[in-house]
């Protein structure tokens, strides 16, 4: 349906504009420089743009993972927003897992990889610094936040009734017992040292459970999670929708906490690109950003969410039963342990949330991810002193601003900081003083 609409729309642009084409082509003669003599819908889209906003290329290859975080990328393509801004050849490429995405961006699209796409934090920083790419530094730019919220921690059914909820006071004994018996609680995520591991660690540590000594942490590819929870290879799992809800619906587990409960309006996943691609194609980068921003606004109109689900759940994209996404997308969660949540402000959000703009990549959030990396010993202690310079290099909020202004979007944040953040346990993170946050935490490695 969506594919059909999209194709029809493109055909419509091509035919409807055909009569006006000769005059348009005359006016645009010789420019933009990359125009081929053949009349294509791509050229029409490019000609309709202001001359200084014509992208250097119409082509880009973006990686994504089949979770709600990817919705703005899929929608930008399927609803024609990429084409509207002249990016008529955007390849949205499903990645087998986060490791594959990393390997593909390392080689770039010319070698069969990708130019950028969807990332957990702080992956673009770790790739830029060569930390997860065998010391090969591949400079990347963080350009836009895809979403806030939309993730959860799911726990296996056999642990129901043990007090494993947002606050786990009642489960303290359980963690002590499993540790003493040498059968530690196993919590999994899809890629180490990024969002999903941070959410598990934050949740447990805030509850007085040391994730490094009291439990076992492991990496499990998303596709194997349901099976691993069924067989007991893991007890808990942190990931994006539709996985947590699927675990509840298949009656193999329950949701102990939504990440939106751990940290309301928390930063989640991002669009980041190879720096060499952006430096070579600054206008195409901004075209892409405008398209994704417009898609994010479309996604945040709850009247569109039914259509959004229809589009993303197709075989080409997530390949899931649309029913699994219906309730989480509206902020309705059957937590599976008797608890229910019905609150649109707890749903995955793409343009606006309780704290303001979602799409804008706040530098203060990058700083939290780097600070949290220091907290758990993933990055050396002196990284905190270097963090500000590194963030200035990697986070290109300036390009986001330029794109938003060119497109005439409102809600442009005035600061690179969202200010003081507060977590469910009352802990505060002041981006002006990350050391004070580290000092305030009882459980940490640093």
Nearer to Ca ion, 145 or 151 (CB): 151
CA–CA separation, 430 and 79 (whole Å): 39
- Nearer Cβ to Ca ion (150/253): 150
Q: How far is the CB of 410 from Ca ion (least distance, A)?
A: 27
Taking Cα atoms as reference points, which of 295, 325, 300 lies closest to residue 310? 325
CA distance 247 to 226: 7
Three-state DSSP at 183 gives coil
Supply the DSSP symbol for 410.
S
Shortest distance (Å) from residue 143 CB to Ca ion: 18
- What are 227's two structure tokens? 């099976």
Least Å distance, CB 29 to Ca ion, is: 48
By CB under 5 A, what part of segment 180-219 binds Ca ion?
195
72 near Ca ion, judged by CB under 5 A: no
Q: Which is nearer to Ca ion, 195 or 373 (CB)?
A: 195
Listed in sequence order, the DSSP H helices in 151-281 are 172-180, 195-206, 222-231, 243-249, 259-262, 275-280
Residue least distant from Ca ion (Cβ)? 240
Residue 13 or 260 with smaller CB distance to Ca ion: 260
Q: Report, in Å, the least distance between residue 349 CB and Ca ion.
A: 13
For Ca ion, the closer of residues 86 and 240 by Cβ is: 240
138-157 footprint of Ca ion as x/- string (CB under 5 A)? -------------x------
How many residues form the binding site for Ca ion (CB under 5 A)? 3
Positions in 264-303 near Ca ion (CB under 5 A): none
CA angle 141, 145, 148 (to 5 degrees): 150
**Least distance in Å: CB of 208 to Ca ion?**
25
- Which tokens belong to 235? 């007890």
Q: How far is the CB of 268 from Ca ion (least distance, A)?
A: 5
Q: What angle do the packed helices 363-375 and 383-394 form, to 10 degrees?
A: 150
Q: Residue 393 CB, nearest distance to Ca ion (Å)? A: 24
Sign of CA dihedral 431, 437, 439, 443: negative
Does residue number 313 form part of the binding site for Ca ion (CB under 5 A)? no
Contact positions with Ca ion (CB under 5 A) in 37-66: none
The two structure tokens encoding residue 310? 């229809």
**Is residue 240 close enough to count as binding Ca ion by CB under 5 A?**
yes
DSSP-derived letter for residue 170 is: G
Which CB atom, from 244 or from 253, has the smaller least distance to Ca ion?
A: 244
Nearer to Ca ion, 58 or 195 (CB): 195
Torsion angle of the four alpha carbons 173, 378, 186, 121, in this order, in degrees rounded to the nearest 10: 110
H helix intervals, 129-164: none
In angstroms, give the least distance from the CB of 238 to Ca ion: 8
Cβ neighbourhood burial of 94 (10 Å; 0-12, 13-18, 19+)? middle
Residue 10 corresponds to which tokens in the numbers above? 């493109």
**What is the closest distance, in whole angstroms, from the C-beta atom of residue 150 to Ca ion in the complex?**
7
DSSP state of 137: -
Q: Is the dihedral of CA 245, 246, 249, 253 positive or negative?
A: negative
Shortest gap between Cβ of 221 and Ca ion (angstroms)? 14
The distance of closest approach from Cβ of residue 73 to Ca ion in the complex, given in angstroms and rounded to an integer, is 14
By beta-carbon proximity to Ca ion, the closer residue of 84 and 246 is 246
Tokens of 277: 């691609």
Contact between 217 and 234 under an 8 Å Cβ cutoff? The reply is no
Supply 129's token pair.
């610094």
Q: Alpha carbon 356 to chain centroid distance?
A: 17
Nearer to Ca ion, 148 or 151 (CB): 151
DSSP state of 349: B
Nearer to Ca ion, 245 or 277 (CB): 245
Contact present, 120 and 98 (Cβ < 8 Å): yes
Cα–Cα dist 44/36, whole Å? 11
Considering only residues 403 to 422 of the shown chain, the ones binding Ca ion according to CB under 5 A are: none
Least Cβ distance, residue 269 to Ca ion (angstroms): 5
In angstroms, how far is CA 219 from the centroid of its own chain?
18
Q: Which is nearer to Ca ion, 54 or 142 (CB)?
A: 142
| Beta carbon nearer to Ca ion, 85 or 203 | 203
Contact residues: Ca ion, CB under 5 A: 151, 195, 240
């Amino acid at each position: 349906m969506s594919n059909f609409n999209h194709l029809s729309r493109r055909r419509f642009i091509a035919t409807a504009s055909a009569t006006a084409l000769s005059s348009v082509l005359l006016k645009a003669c010789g420019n933009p420089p990359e125009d081929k003599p053949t009349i294509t819908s791509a050229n029409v889209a490019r000609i309709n743009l202001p001359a200084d906003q014509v992208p250097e290329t119409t082509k880009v290859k973006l990686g994504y993972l089949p979770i709600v975080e990817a919705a703005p990328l899929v929608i930008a393509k399927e609803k024609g927003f990429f084409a509207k801004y002249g990016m008529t050849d955007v390849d949205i490429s499903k990645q087998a897992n986060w490791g594959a995405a990393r390997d593909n961006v390392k080689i770039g699209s010319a070698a069969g990889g990708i130019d950028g796409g969807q990332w957990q934090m702080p992956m673009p920083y770790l790739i830029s610094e060569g930390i997860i790419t065998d010391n090969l530094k591949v400079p990347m730019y963080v350009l836009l936040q895809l979403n806030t919220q939309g993730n959860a921690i799911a726990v296996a059914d056999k642990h129901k009734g043990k007090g494993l909820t947002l606050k786990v006071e009642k489960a303290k004994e359980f963690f002590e017992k499993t540790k003493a018996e040498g059968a530690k609680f196993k919590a999994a995520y899809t890629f180490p040292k990024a969002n999903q591991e941070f959410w598990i660690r934050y949740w447990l540590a805030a509850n007085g459970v040391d994730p490094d000594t009291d439990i076992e942490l492991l990496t499990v590819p998303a596709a194997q999670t349901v099976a691993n929870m069924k067989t007991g290879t893991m007890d808990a799992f942190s990931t994006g929708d539709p996985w947590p809800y699927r675990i509840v619906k298949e009656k193999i587990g329950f949701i102990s906490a939504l990440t939106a409960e751990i940290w309301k309006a928390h930063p989640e996943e991002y669009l980041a690109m190879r720096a060499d691609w952006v430096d070579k194609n600054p206008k195409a980068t901004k075209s892409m950003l405008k398209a994704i921003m417009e898609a994010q606004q479309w996604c945040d109109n709850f009247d569109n969410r039914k259509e959004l689900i229809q589009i993303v759940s197709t075989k080409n994209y997530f390949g899931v039963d649309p029913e699994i996404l219906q309730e989480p997308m509206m902020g309705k969660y059957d937590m599976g342990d008797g608890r229910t949540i019905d609150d649109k402000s707890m749903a995955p959000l793409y343009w606006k949330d309780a704290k303001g703009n979602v799409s804008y990549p706040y530098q203060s959030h990058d700083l939290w991810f780097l600070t949290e990396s220091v907290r758990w010993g993933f990055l050396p202690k002196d990284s905190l002193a270097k963090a500000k310079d590194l963030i200035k290099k990697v986070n290109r909020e300036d390009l986001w601003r330029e794109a938003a202004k060119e497109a005439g979007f409102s809600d442009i944040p005035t600061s690179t900081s969202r200010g003081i953040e507060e977590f469910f346990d009352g802990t505060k993170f002041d981006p002006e003083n990350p050391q004070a946050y580290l000092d305030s935490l009882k459980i940490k490695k640093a």
